[in-house]
Amino acid sequence: MNLPRGVWVCTEIMVQLNTPGVRDGRVAVWQDGSLIADWSTQQNDQWYDNLVLATSYIGPISTGAPPKPPTNVRIVS
């Protein structure tokens, strides 16, 4: 997933756990309200910041003007 620099992006992830004994779980990902990924259960490792857990869709939270992107971020490869 390529993210633009200098803008805030809302990424939402839904995780549906497997039924015990059945591999029927699901992971779906939305970016700014658009579904961008949807797959069945497999192992995926990701790092997340500002995580919100809910039992139903809540959508991006807005308070008016979008916050300014951070200026003190350092990318290390």
Distances (CA, A) of 16 to 28, 35, 61, 76: 9, 15, 22, 32
What is the rounded radius of gyration, in angstroms, for the C-alpha atoms of the chain?
15
Give the N- to C-terminal CA distance of the chain in Å, as an integer: 17
Is-contact 41 24, C-beta < 8 A? yes
- For residue 5 the two structure tokens come to 């620099």
* Global confidence as pTM: 0.51
For 5-62, write each residue's pLDDT tens digit: 888 888 889 989 888 888 888 999 998 889 999 988 766 566 777 777 788 877 776 6
Looking at residue 38, its pLDDT comes to 93
